[in-house]
Structure 1
Amino acid sequence: MSPAVGRSLELYYIDGRPDGMVTAELFNWTGHVLMFPRTQLSAALARGESSYAGIYLLLGDQDGEPFAYIGEGEDIGARIRQHDVRKEWWTSAVLVTASANKLNKAHVRYLEARLISYAKAIGHTPLDNLTAPVLPILSEADIAKMEAFLENLLIVLPAVRVDMFIQRTRSARPATSTTPVRTIADPQEVAGGGTRFVLESRKHGLRASAMLTDGEFVVEAGSMSRLEWTGLDHHTYASLYAELRRSGVLTEQGANCVFTQDYAFRSPSAAAAVVNGRASNGQIDWRTADGGLTYKDWEARQVAAPEGTA
């Protein structure tokens, strides 16, 4: 496997505010992304690229859950104006175009269909799209170009705070009632140089394992979590717990839930909160698999150790 290659991304805050209109572009990519709050709709639609062919995302929430719509058009500004009248729930939008208006109708239909399919497969954000469009017929060369365009777009979108296309599951392997948390010969070492941690709660009959590898804290399939979220409803991780239940990453199994797939969390505390069903300090709750060190103490050793000796 070839090593990952860094990419250069340029963000431009048009009005100098981090919560205002922002454009994003990758070096050597023809794509152009504009994100704006609905309160700046008129200013966004006055820009030249809003009349280009492209795709767009409407983002907001409905019934307390994130909600989105993915669309396309030969004049995306005209489509956004229609949605301004018909859809009340959205609070921000993203316009995706190409320099010199190089995308055509077939291109944007292809990108729309691929994004809708991808978003539904991930299941992070419910869509207002009632149907899944069929991929248009493109030449082999055009398909290759659109797939490359899509690959770059999925790198850019998280930079403008759109995370609905981030795939955090790492395995599709189903778990059963007899599925044990995986172990290997050396319980602390994971293939690829990672480290395994365990979180246990005898009171609730929980045991979960996770591995830290390639900078990700991944809870493994077969790990258990609480059957319900018992913490504060407005806590940051309450919505994450609900999302994992809704998407099927967590499924009910007896008195608890079980992870059906490996899932990459942003932090040990986020993982611990989902496992425990309440706010938790992952720095303390997770321990190395041999039970010797908390995550906090293990991390301190890694930082203190000379390079190459950790």
Structure 2
Amino acid sequence: MTSPTGRSLELYYVDGQPGGMVTAELFNWTGHVLMTPRTRIAAALMRTEAHHAGVYILIGEQEGEPRAYIGEGEDIAGRLKAHGVSKQWWTTAVLVTAAANKLNKAHVRYLEARLIAEARSTGRVPLDNGTTPTVPSLSEADIAKMEAFLDNLMVVLPAVRVDLFIQRARPTVSTAAVAAVEPEAPRFTLDYRKRAIRATAVLVNGEFIVEAGSLARESWAGFETHYCASLFAELVRAMILVPQGDHTVFTQNYAFSSPSAAAAIVYGRTANGQVAWRTEPGGLTYRDWEALQLDLETNA
């Protein structure tokens, strides 16, 4: 397998604080990202890049549910001024352009269509867009350039806390296939005997992946303010968790940010994944297994 290549990302806090306008750029990439809170939209639209051709993402909540809208324009500022009146729910805008205004109308329509399709495929945040536009025809060279542009954009957006394109569902593969790719990948199980729930997971490339076929609680039973409450609802909405008798079942492998997040979804409430997950075989808690790995690294 090819080792991941590092990237150099530059964030610039325009207002001198994280809560204000932020620009993001990757080294050796012509793209430019500007994220602004709605309270600073007037100042943002006075910037030069706001009058370039590009795509934009509006993020917020509607009736307590996360919401997003993806659009394009040859002059983003003009489009956003219209949305400032017609769409009341958004609180953050993300403007994506290119240096020297190198994107044309066909480019931004392509990017818009691809971003809408990507957002809908992840299912993380419902879109306010009525339809998924058809990807416009471009030359083979332009398609290659726009796909490369998107690859870089997907690196930048999570850095400015835009996660609606993050795909955590993973293709369902057999245990033998995982072992063939990562022969030393540690495996873990979680047994919630009170509710006859069993889940399995594997740690691959730093991702804690709960495997398809694992069981979880039938519904979220913990505090609604817990961050995993919305994640549980998201997984149900995306049909990654589907009802199965008195439980729900994972229909796909799913990568979690931590063992505790994974355990919380399985339990349907707050959980300490450091002790809930145990190695298979061996029965070590994740915490003890992790401590052992640290000792081995230190003494190597």
Using the size of structure 1 for normalisation, the TM-score is 0.93
Instruction: State which of 294, 298, 309 in structure 1 corresponds to 2:289.
Output: 298
SS of structure 2 residue aligned to 1:207 = strand
Aligned to 1:179: none
SS of structure 1 residue aligned to 2:199 = strand
Task: Decide which moves more: 2-11 or 121-130.
Answer: 2-11
| Distance 1:99-1:306 versus aligned 2 partners, 3 A rule | closer
2:253 aligned with 1:233, yes or no? no
**Within 5 Å, which residues of 2 pair with 1:265-304?**
265-304=256-295
Amino acid at match of 2:134: V
C-alpha displacement of 1:306: 3.7
Aligned to 1:163: 163
- Aligned residues of 1:59 and 1:90 also touching (Cα < 8 A): yes
Aligned to 1:79: 79
Aligned to 1:114: 114
C-alpha displacement of 1:288: 0.6
C-alpha displacement of 1:112: 0.1
Aligned to 2:251: 260
Task: Decide which moves more: 28-37 or 230-239.
Answer: 230-239
Aligned to 2:236: 245
Amino acid at match of 1:117: A
C-alpha displacement of 1:290: 2.5
**Within 5 Å, which residues of 2 pair with 1:122-137?**
122-137=122-137
| Distance 1:192-1:156 versus aligned 2 partners, 3 A rule | farther
- Aligned residues of 1:190 and 1:196 also touching (Cα < 8 A): no
Aligned to 1:177: none
2:194 aligned with 1:203, yes or no? yes
Task: Give the Cα–Cα distance (whole angstroms) in 2 for the partners of residues 225 and 308 of structure 1.
Answer: 38
Gaps of 5+ in 2: none
Task: Give the Cα–Cα distance (whole angstroms) in 2 for the partners of residues 38 and 299 of structure 1.
Answer: 43
C-alpha displacement of 1:236: 1.3
C-alpha displacement of 1:184: 5.6
| Distance 1:234-1:50 versus aligned 2 partners, 3 A rule | same
Aligned to 1:143: 143
SS of structure 2 residue aligned to 1:158 = helix
Aligned to 1:178: none
SS of structure 2 residue aligned to 1:239 = helix
| Distance 1:154-1:192 versus aligned 2 partners, 3 A rule | farther
Task: Give the Cα–Cα distance (whole angstroms) in 2 for the partners of residues 287 and 39 of structure 1.
Answer: 47
Task: Decide which moves more: 124-133 or 289-298.
Answer: 289-298
Task: Give the Cα–Cα distance (whole angstroms) in 2 for the partners of residues 43 and 248 of structure 1.
Answer: 41
C-alpha displacement of 1:201: 1.1
Aligned to 1:88: 88
Q: Report the structure, 1 or 2, having the larger helix content.
A: 2
| Distance 1:300-1:83 versus aligned 2 partners, 3 A rule | same
- Aligned residues of 1:193 and 1:213 also touching (Cα < 8 A): no
- CA offsets, 1:163-201, max 9 Å, x none? 11111011157xxxxxxxx656999x9834210000001
Amino acid at match of 1:239: S
Aligned to 2:41: 41
Task: Decide which moves more: 250-259 or 300-309.
Answer: 300-309
SS of structure 2 residue aligned to 1:19 = coil
- The alignment yields a C-alpha RMSD, in angstroms, of 1.9
**What fraction of aligned residue pairs are identical, expressed as a percent?**
63
- Aligned residues of 1:210 and 1:220 also touching (Cα < 8 A): yes
Task: Give the Cα–Cα distance (whole angstroms) in 2 for the partners of residues 2 and 217 of structure 1.
Answer: 20
C-alpha displacement of 1:73: 0.3
Using the size of structure 2 for normalisation, the TM-score is 0.96
Task: Decide which moves more: 72-81 or 191-200.
Answer: 191-200
C-alpha displacement of 1:50: 0.5
- CA offsets, 1:41-99, max 9 Å, x none? 11100100101000000000122221100000000000000000000000000000000
Task: Give the Cα–Cα distance (whole angstroms) in 2 for the partners of residues 263 and 48 of structure 1.
Answer: 41
